[in-house]
Structure 1
Amino acid sequence: MASAPTAPTALIARDPLFAAVDAPAFTARHLARLAGGTLAAVRVPGFLDPAGCRAVTGALDRLPTAPYDPGRVPTPVLRFGPALNDYRLPGGGLDTARYWPDADAARATWGRAAIRPDPVAHALALLGAAWGSAVVPATVGGRAAFGGTLREIDAGLLMHYDDINREFPAGLFDQDVVAQLAFNLYVSVASGGGATIVWRHRWEPADEGHRDAYGYRPAAVEGRQRVELPPHPGDALLFDPAHFHAVEPNRGPGRRIAFAFFLGVTTGGRLVVWS
């Protein structure tokens, strides 16, 4: 007796809910679906208009940028503003002696630069309006974390994931975060390349066999579903960074510059922000 036909492997492996959508604006439903794992990414074209992008990029020389430590991040990336993960101690705590002075200095520098329109304030206002309550900084011991780094990524980023609850398993924030989203607002892009790729894969212990510097080798996501999101000036992108993700190198002239931060959904249903 002949065996019953089986469905193609591609159909079995594919999750129809793991998809990226373009929308005219972010909505509370978008954020809830991303947090719940029933959407891969949401992109809003024209989140910042062309005049705003030109004004912001023209003012960026007022912000000092510095590269990551090449011993930790082998792909060259310029950035402004501290990211919590760069101040993580070997035991999982936060190096407050370095972090708070750097966060205070970055806020002061940002204020003096007086970039208008303010891309971070613009983004937080629209996201808060969509959610129905203002986005507030995540706090550590009552002090507000810095939120809103600038990064120029021209040579790409290795595949990696971001998860504040794994990075600081003993807890860091005064708020309990149950879901984390990554936000990027592109103010300048190259003529080609620079796409963000998100895979339907979260960290598993076996992935450590594919470790490569701060990230992972492609074999960790072999056969996994993915979405590819090329950047355009003024685009805003939201996705769940616990999924493995990477940035392709530029394939043409131009600079890929974005403002970025993380949003956390708390147990109380609030949105908090940090970088």
Structure 2
Amino acid sequence: MTRTTALDPLFTVVNTAVLTDRHLANLAAGTLAAVRVPGFLDAQTCRTALRVLDRLPTGEYDPDRVATPIVRFGPALNDYRDDAGALDAQRYWHDAEAARALWHRAGVRPDPIAISLARLGEVWGAAVSPAAIGGRAVFGGTVREINTGALIHYDDLNREFPTGLFDQEIVAQLAFNAWVAVPEEGGATTVWRHRWEPADEEHRDAYGYGPETVAHCQRVSLRPEIGDGLLFNPAHFHAVEPNAGGRRVAFAFFLGLTTTGQLIAWS
């Protein structure tokens, strides 16, 4: 058997001030590594958001699932899976409504989440709708401060909830981040040209995987700047390197492309 070592010429990073629907479609198809949009959020929006965020109550992910400390405001669906892989609905909806109330009370203006969703909807040609469960909109738009890094992992709603979760059917998932604070050194995001396969479970490490899983895979690394927007397909294995100092704070949510061509959002 012949094994190729050639690089995939399509697995690249596009840096662009003009995001297009073609960029989103290529990410959904897996034929592009990432799209970086410098200045997606302006400096004033970033400064205002960071001041307000420091007054919001934050917590960490469930330490039984995420061993590396990641400070977060807002619930993430993954933290509410029960032992059977279903959503712990009572606990999730309680926390989602509480987070919505706190966000509204904080009065973040301009609102980075609203700005981001509106701009992405303009690019796609139709407004981004919230993902829904039983007709009820889920929470979308967490704030995460990752200073000690994140393990190599992937995100795939269809694998995380294989019996289905949303009213809408998802055929592809994208991850969106917009940074309002970045460290002077470190904190790069790396995306590998590798998707989960059963053999990867031999290298399972807490919520993620050991480096040998992607040791021979093509990769791209991006170090964010304040205001940057980043989109990538999170079915590709990805990780965050630790900071050498300073803070790395981003607004984050997932986008899903539905069977009807709609974009929906959740966290």
> Does the pair score TM above 0.5?
yes
Q: Distance in 1 between matches of 2:82 and 2:140?
A: 20
* Structure 1 residue 261: Cα displacement: 0.2
Report the more deviating stretch, 64-73 or 188-197. Answer: 64-73
Cross-structure match for 1:229: 222
Cross-structure match for 2:91: 98
* Structure 1 residue 8: Cα displacement: 10
Asked whether the equivalents of residues 25 and 47 of structure 1 are also in contact (C-alpha less than 8 Å), the reply is no
From 231, 250, 259, the counterpart of 1:258? 250
- Name the aligned partner's letter for residue 203 of structure 2: H
From 98, 117, 120, the counterpart of 2:110? 117
- Name the aligned partner's letter for residue 148 of structure 1: G
Under a length normalisation based on structure 2, what TM-score does the superposition of the two structures give? 0.97
Matched position secondary structure for 1:170:
coil
Cross-structure match for 2:141: 148
Asked whether the equivalents of residues 149 and 240 of structure 2 are also in contact (C-alpha less than 8 Å), the reply is yes
Asked whether the equivalents of residues 61 and 79 of structure 2 are also in contact (C-alpha less than 8 Å), the reply is no
* Structure 1 residue 154: Cα displacement: 0.2
Matched, 1:211 2:204: yes
Cross-structure match for 1:182: 175
Structure 2 alignment gaps of length 5 or more: none
- Name the aligned partner's letter for residue 135 of structure 1: V
RMSD of aligned C-alpha atoms?
1.2
Matched position secondary structure for 1:33:
helix
* Structure 1 residue 227: Cα displacement: 0.4
Asked whether the equivalents of residues 47 and 234 of structure 1 are also in contact (C-alpha less than 8 Å), the reply is yes
Matched, 1:50 2:67: no
Q: Distance in 2 between matches of 1:247 and 1:37?
A: 20
Which of these two proteins has the greater Rg computed from alpha carbons? Answer: 1
Matched, 1:269 2:261: yes
Structure 1 alignment gaps of length 5 or more: 1-6
Cross-structure match for 2:18: 25
* Structure 1 residue 62: Cα displacement: 2.5
- Name the aligned partner's letter for residue 75 of structure 1: T
- Name the aligned partner's letter for residue 255 of structure 1: R
1:72-111 mapped onto 2 (5 Å cutoff) = 72-111=65-104
- Name the aligned partner's letter for residue 197 of structure 1: T
